Each structure stands twice: as structure tokens, then as C-alpha cells.
Amino acid sequence: MTWIAIRMLTGDRQKFYGLVFGIAFSTLLITQQLTIFVNLLNRGATAVHNIATVDVWVMDPVSRTQDVIYPMPSTALDQVRSVPGVAWAVPHLRANAAVRTPDGDLEGVTVVGVDDSTLIGLPPTMIAGTRDQLLLPNSVFVDGVGRTRLFAEDAEPIGARLELNDQRAVVRGIVDVDPSFTSQVVLYTRYSNALNYVPGTRNRLSFVLARAAPGVTPEELVRRIEAQTGLKARTRTDFAQDGVNFIIENTGIPINFGITVALGFIVGIAIVGLTFSLFIRDNIKQFGALKAIGVHNGKIRMMVAAQAGLVGLIGYGLGVLMATLFISIGGATSVDFKGFYTPWQIPLLTLLGVTLIILATGWLALRRVLKTEPAAVFR
């Protein structure tokens, strides 16, 4: 009977492709928009994600995210190192500064100061240059945004000189990091250099990055640090989430994307629902005949389920493929999409949405079929 059901469906090409298109379009819209949304939100946590070697971030109690910082006195580093369970801790500086480009333009940058001797805090991968070149005097690394923003297309950034707070800085590498939410240029340098590059305030230490000793969970370490030092400590995942939440709370992005996703869902329901019920109405006599001949409601349900399932499979498969291709190609070719990826949860979420669409429209259509009296075929 399933075979008959599939034939019934695919024989009506217009409606079949209408259904497939409806599901594929909904899938594409929901998946793609959710993915861009999640990735935009993740931009609020790139500073955390870019540092893979620490699991606890310690900051002043009023600091909120990677960019909303109230600096601490430099002794905070020793306070954190004093906490049992801290394997090691390094200072980390994030501050805004203005840089003079080789062309003479002024560009706002985020200066990141990493630990002087170990360079912990530096992103792991480099596009150009090697990590140890940061140990040279006045050495800075720029990120991909900085490569495009500070230098002309054909200019060679390695070896270029910048001016920061009346200090000379020499670009000696390009690091491979995802841009931040504001896409601001990021300059990496050593902590002691960073102090010179950033106009002076009394306290300068933005974060202390700590690593839990073996056997101590980051959560437990956070508790210990907060209890002993009175500073605010967050695990890596929590702090990344803080950055994401900050964007959610302070921008209209969730509403915008929520509306688009809801639209995708509604359009999907509308297209699929209308087409499916048209299809069922066209075939209601055949269904009635089948019921009279002796096909019971369970089999009828299976038939409609098979029809909906086929439409769902094809539409969802094509939609997800298009959405992931879009993100993959976009992420590989565009700076704006750099680092974008499709979280595996989103296709599952879309699957849920598509399933809902199919269940709702299939149920509506099925109700009609089930209510058809077999005796109606004789009238």
C-alpha cells in the first residue's frame, strides 16, 4: 500500500514538487537563519573560543564580557595563583586603542596582551609568521580583519610599522581567529608591550587566565577562586555564554532572526498545508474507494504518513544540503562569514520544525480522509 501511496503522490507532479519545495524552502530558511543567528551570537564569545588552553577566566566582579571590562590591579594575578587547584595562571589584557596605519589613517583596535614568557592567550594557529616572533621587541600580530582593514589589498603586512599611543609597533604575524561581534581589528602583543600601547590607567590587568590542576573541575576552581580572592571567576563555557547573552540582551538580533525563523515556519506550514490538503482533496475519491474495498484506517494513516514522510525526507534533505553548503562556502570565501559553522543541533531543530509542519498538515489532511464514509463512493 505504501507503494500505491507513493505513486499517488509522485504521480501528481505539480503538487509533489510544491510540497517538496515548501518543505525545502522552510528547511533552508529555518536552518540558514538559525545558523547565522547562532554564529552571530557566538561572535560575542570569540575572545574566549580563540584561547584554547585555559579553562577559567578571572576578572573584576563588575566585568561582564570579553569587551565589557573593569581592569584589576596587577597583584590579582598572584591572588589567583595563590588559590589551591590553580595549576597556573597568566595575565591577559584586552583594551581599546587607536592605531595609525601605514597610510596615516586612524583605526580603532582591540589590543590583546598575552603572557610575556609563555605567550598563553595567543590563538593557536597563524596565517603568517611564527608564534615566537612575538617575543621580538615591539612585535604585534594582527588578525584577519586587521589584515584587510589596516592594509591595502596589495600591501605586505609583515614588517609594516604601526603607531600606537606614540609607540612603534612592527607587524610580525597574522593570526587565524574568528572576528568579534563588532569586527574590530585585534592586535596581539605581549603583556608588557600592551601596557605601553594602551593609554595608561591606574589598573590595567583585564583578566587572569587560569588552568585547573588535574583532578579539579573548572566549576570547583571557580568556586574556590571566588571564595578566596573575591574576584569574579567564570569557566570558559560560562564566560563564552556571558558574551552571547550580552548580545542577546543588548541587541535586536534575536527578535529579527526569531521573526525570520517564524516566517520560515509559517510559510512552510502554509505551502505544505495548502498543497497537501489540495492533494488529499483530489484523491479523496480514491481513498474512499480504497476504504470501501477494505483498506482500514491504520493502513490509510500509513499511506498518508508515507506520503508525508517522502515529501519530508526529500524536502528536508535538499533544504539542509543547501543551507550547509551556503554556510560552508560562505565561511570559506567571505571574511564576514569566517568561522561560521552549522551547529549539529540546528538541523535537528529544523527536523523537529519540519516534522511539526508535516504532522500538522498531514493530520489535517488525514482527518478528512478518515472522516470519509466508505458509503460515499456509491453516491
Binding to other proteins, residues 131-190 (CB under 8 A): none
- Euclidean distance between CA atoms 345 and 35, whole angstroms: 10
Shortest spacing between CB 287 and other proteins, in angstroms = 10
- Binding other proteins by CB under 8 A: which of 26, 79, 275, 307? 79
- Binding other proteins by CB under 8 A: which of 40, 120, 233, 358? 120
Nearer to other proteins among residue 149 and residue 291 (C-beta): 291
- Binding other proteins by CB under 8 A: which of 68, 70, 82, 96? 82
Nearer to other proteins among residue 137 and residue 252 (C-beta): 137
Nearer to other proteins among residue 18 and residue 157 (C-beta): 18
State the angle between helix axes of 2-11 and 13-42 in degrees (0 to 180), rounded to the nearest 10.
Answer: 90
Residue 370 and residue 288 in contact, taking contact as beta carbons nearer than 8 Å: no
Q: For other proteins, which stretch binds (CB under 8 A), given 155-163, 251-259, 318-326, 356-364? A: 318-326
Nearer to other proteins among residue 104 and residue 214 (C-beta): 214
Shortest spacing between CB 315 and other proteins, in angstroms = 8
Q: What is the 3-state secondary structure (H, E, C) of 79-125?
A: HHHCCCCEEEEEEEEEEEEEEECCCCCEEEEEEEEECCCCCECECCC
| 289 binds other proteins, rule: CB under 8 A | yes
Shortest spacing between CB 52 and other proteins, in angstroms = 4
Would you report the helix, strand and coil content of the chain in percent, each value rounded to 5?
Answer: 55, 20, 25
- Binding other proteins by CB under 8 A: which of 98, 106, 255, 325? 325
Sort strands 139-142 and 86-100 into parallel, antiparallel or unpaired: unpaired
Nearer to other proteins among residue 17 and residue 263 (C-beta): 17
Nearer to other proteins among residue 73 and residue 250 (C-beta): 73
| 227 binds other proteins, rule: CB under 8 A | yes
| 321 binds other proteins, rule: CB under 8 A | yes
Nearer to other proteins among residue 42 and residue 65 (C-beta): 42
Q: For other proteins, which stretch binds (CB under 8 A), given 98-106, 273-281, 312-320, 362-370? A: 312-320
- Here the contacts of 255-263 (C-beta below 8 Å, separation 24 or greater) are 257/33, 257/34, 257/36, 257/37, 257/40, 260/29, 260/33, 261/29, 261/30, 261/33, 261/34, 261/37, 263/29
DSSP β-bridge partners for residue 168: 163
Instruction: Look at residues 244, 279, 281 and name the one whose alpha carbon lies nearest to residue 42.
Output: 244
Q: How many residues sit in the footprint of other proteins (CB under 8 A)? A: 100
Let me know how many helices (H) and strands (E) the chain has, helices first. Answer: 12, 10
| 352 binds other proteins, rule: CB under 8 A | no
Shortest spacing between CB 242 and other proteins, in angstroms = 15
- Binding other proteins by CB under 8 A: which of 317, 349, 360, 370? 317
Shortest spacing between CB 120 and other proteins, in angstroms = 5
| 61 binds other proteins, rule: CB under 8 A | yes
- Binding other proteins by CB under 8 A: which of 141, 191, 239, 265? 191
Residue 56 and residue 218 in contact, taking contact as beta carbons nearer than 8 Å: yes
- Euclidean distance between CA atoms 39 and 31, whole angstroms: 12
Identify the burial level of 355 via C-beta atoms within 10 angstroms of its C-beta, where 0-12 means exposed, 13-18 middle and 19 or more buried.
middle
Helix (H, G, I), strand (E, B) or coil at 166: coil
| 263 binds other proteins, rule: CB under 8 A | no
| 330 binds other proteins, rule: CB under 8 A | no
Residue 31 and residue 350 in contact, taking contact as beta carbons nearer than 8 Å: yes
- Give the contact letters, 195-224, x = binds to other proteins (CB under 8 A), - = no: xx---x-xxx------x-x-xx--------
| 355 binds other proteins, rule: CB under 8 A | no
DSSP β-bridge partners for residue 110: 96, 186
Nearer to other proteins among residue 150 and residue 280 (C-beta): 280
Report in angstroms the alpha-carbon separations of 326 from 32, 178, 330.
Answer: 8, 18, 6
